[in-house]
Structures are given as C-alpha cells and as structure tokens.
Amino acid sequence: MNMRWRTPTLLSASALTIMAAATLSPALPAIESHFAGTPQSALLTRLVVTFPALWIALCAPLAGMIADRFGRRPLLLVSVLLYGVAGMSGLMLDSLHAILAGRALLGVAVAGIMTAVTALAGDYYVGAARERFMGLQAAFTGFGGLLFLAAGGVLAEWHWRAPFAVYALAFLLWPAVLWQLAEPDRPASTPSPGTPPGAVPSRVPPGTWSALSLLLAAAVLNSAAFYLVPTQLPFHLPSLGIDAPSRTGLAIGTMTLVSALAGLAYTRLRPRLGMTGSFTFGFGLMAAGFVLLSRAPDFAALTGALATLGFGLGTVMPNLMGTAMHLAPPALRGRVAGMLTTAIFLGHFLSPLLSQPMIAGIGFDATFSAVGGLLGVMALTALALTIAGRRRVQPVAEPLR
C-alpha cells in the first residue's frame, strides 16, 4: 500500500474534530431566534455546539477498546462515514431536539475519529517524530478551525442551516483514509513481574496512574475553560456593538489561527521547556488571555486577548496528547487515547452548564476573569511540578569533611 499521503490524511482526519463544533458557532444566535418558541431554547441552542462532546466523552472509552481489539483503521473508516451523515442532518431537521439527536450521533463519530487518530499517531511516530506530528496536528486543526469558522460565519449570514453543509467534507476524506492509512503492527507492552509470557497487560502500569490522572484532570479543566469562547462569545459581542456573525467568526478564527501558529512552534518550544514547563507556559498564556478578554473595551482589544489565549491553547493541546502517548503502553494506546478524548470533550460539554449560571449571576467579564484565575492556578501547579522534577534529578552533594 502506497502511503505517501499518510501524514496529510491523518492530519485532515484530525481537522474533522474541530469542525464538529466550530462551524456552527457563528450561527448560534440565528438558531436561537428560529427556535425561540422551544422551552429552554437559550440553553439548548448552546448545546448544539457542545452536545456532541457529551457523546464523545461517553463513547470514547468504548472506541478505545474497539481500536485496541479490532484495529484503528476500521474504526476510523466507519466513524468518518457516520460523521458526514450525522453532521449534515441539520440541513433537513426542523426541531431543535431532533437537531440535538443528530449532534449526538456526530459525537459518537468524533469519538471514533479522535481516538483512532491519536492511537495511530502513537503507533506511526516515535520520540521527536511524534512531537513533530502533535505540533503539526495542533497547527492543522487550528488552520482548519479558522477555515471552518470563516465559512460558518459567511454561510450563517445566508441561512442558519447552511453551515451544516460543510460536514460533507467527510465524504471527500473517506477514500484517502481507505487508501493511505494501514493498520500498524502493535507490540505488546512490557509485562509486569509474574505476567505469563506472551500475555498482554490489561491495564496501564501502576507507576503511570498518578501522572495520567493529573493529565486527564488538566484536560477537562482546559477544555471547559476554552469552550467559553465559541459558546459564549457570540452572545457577549453585542455588548461591544458587534452584531455580524462574520465578525464573530473572524474573532474566534483569529484565536484558532494563532493556535495553529503555536502548534508549529511547539516542536521548538517542547525540548526547551520540557513536559511540565510547556504546561506552565501554555496555561499562563491562556490565563492572561481570559483576563485581557474580561477587560477588552472594543473589537481590537478583544482580538488581541483571543490571540494570547490561542497561543496558549496551541501549546497545551499537543502537549496533552504527546504526554498521554508517552505515558501509554503500546498495547493500550487506544484505551489511553479514548480516556484523553473523554476528558477533553467532557470539558467541552460541561462548559456551558458551568458558565451559564455564572454569567447569569456575575456577568461575562467577571466570569472570564474567574476562569483566567483558575488557569493561572493550573500554570502555577505545573511550575511547581517542574521545579520539583528538577530538584529530584539534582545530584546529592557529599558532606564536607
């Protein structure tokens, strides 16, 4: 099988995961207006963007088991087809609840795509090559997010249904997945003492659980914070005198563009900053971005705040994925990829459920500021881990004689 386009195909499949939510964000106010008679339409409209995340979170562990048991490639092929069908369902459905059902199926598809892609990246690439791929993945999804947001903004000005047509791109990608991605050979993980020869361990080695648990918690909080932008910014911009959906797409697109550039820079930053140092840098920038966003008086200042936030996000995301694949035993990469996918999209789903009551109680600016403070605490935690790690590797001085 000729796989000269393997990396571009894998990167294109990655872009589908950001397209799942980003494309519809500029259309949210129009969707809410169209379904104004539906009870709880304000919350349900925001769930149009984030409802897939619940199903991604629920289905990703099962997708990880399927990927380890039956293979990454079959899972990806089926998931890409389901993605196209479910994504385009909004072109025809005329009930907000039916649209949410279609978004649930889209979430099932994304769970399979993201889990398979992450596991394949862990299988295909090793060491520095894996870090380069993770950086390229962050860049590719960022550039894809910019394209899809811009397209969604323009199409939303024509009709609120029009952005659903963008999901047809999945059907164009499916032949490339079929012909360019091969199922890799996966060596079994090193067995623990007492494991019978040839047996594949059924769980992550105990020494990795604390680091993996901390990583997954960081992924949940990071995603919950980040998704304030696509779910709440369209409703905050009118207070700054910005009403056009295309400008909403431009603002969020700026963040994704800078995030993409940060992904390209990640391969240079990672060796210099280290694993936890990269988290310190990324979370610190995201914290600064949210604080600046809470104080932005106009569109220009808001765009600068989102650019700062985007650079931090573009550092954190590839570091989350690269660290997870570094911790995962080869035979269990599918399961660990599924766990990370669950953590990321659980944060997506929880974001409006947590932020909407805060915004109703204290307003947009105070909510953005509070989230910035939380991310600042995460940056300081990563800094403390970095310092502690450096102290552990320092040689012990001999006592003076």
- The whole-number average pLDDT for the span 26-34 is 86
pLDDT, average across residues 174-188: 81
Residue 3 forms part of a structural domain: no
Q: Name the DSSP letter for residue 394.
A: S
Q: Give the per-residue pLDDT at 184.
A: 80
Classify residue 93: in a domain, yes or no: yes
Is there a contact between 147 and 35 (Cβ–Cβ < 8 Å)?
no
Distance CA(242)–CA(29), nearest Å, equals 13
Q: How far apart, in Å, are the Cα atoms of 33 and each of 193, 240, 261, 359?
A: 62, 20, 35, 20
The CATH number assigned to the domain holding 302 equals 1.20.1250.20
Inter-axis angle of helices 333-362 and 228-236, to 10 degrees? 30
Segment (H or E) for 81: helix 72-88
Task: Render pLDDT for 89-141 as a digit per residue (tens, 0 to 9).
Answer: 999 998 999 999 999 999 999 999 989 998 898 888 887 788 888 888 888 87
Categorize the per-residue pLDDT at 202 as very low, low, confident or very high, splitting at 50, 70 and 90: very low
- Would 16 be classed as within a structural domain? yes
pLDDT for 205: 55
pLDDT class of 30 with cuts at 50, 70, 90: confident
User: Distance (Å, rounded) from C-alpha 252 to C-alpha 37?
Assistant: 28
Half-sphere exposure of 275 (CA within 13 A, CB side): 17
* The pLDDT of residue 189 is above 50: no
Residue 399, in any domain of the structure: no
Residue 173, pLDDT score: 94
Look at residues 217, 235, 239 and name the one whose alpha carbon lies nearest to residue 324: 217
- Of 73 and 209, more confident: 73
Task: Provide the percentage of residues in the chain whose pLDDT is more than 70.
Answer: 88
- Higher model confidence: residue 330 or residue 35? 35
**How many Å apart are CA 107 and CA 167, to the nearest integer?**
13
pLDDT value of residue 85: 95
Mean pLDDT of the chain: 84
In tens, the pLDDT along 253-290 reads 788 788 888 988 988 888 888 888 999 999 999 999 99
Provide φ and ψ at 397, rounded to 5°: -70, 145
Q: How far apart are CA 141 and CA 70, in angstroms?
A: 27
Question: Is the model more confident about 22 or about 7?
Answer: 7
Q: Which residues span the domain enclosing 241?
A: 9-182+208-391
Confidence of residue 157 (pLDDT cuts 50, 70, 90): confident
Reported as a single tens digit per residue, the pLDDT across 140-153 is 877 777 777 778 87
Place of tokens 């936030």: 309
What digits encode the pLDDT tens for the residues 392-401? 544 433 343 3
Count up the domains in the chain and report the number: 1
290-327 pLDDT, tens digit each: 999 999 888 889 999 999 999 999 999 999 988 888 88
In a domain, 216, yes or no: yes
Q: How far apart, in whole angstroms, are the C-alpha atoms of residue 227 and residue 306?
A: 12
Neighbour count for residue 3 (Cβ, 10 Å):
12
- Has residue 31 got a pLDDT over 60? yes
- What percentage of the chain has pLDDT greater than the value 90? 36
Task: Let me know if residue 2 belongs to a domain.
Answer: no
Report the distance separating Cα 385 and Cα 273, nearest Å: 13
CA 28 to chain centre: 20
Q: Is 229 part of a structural domain of the chain?
A: yes
Residue 188 belongs to a domain? no
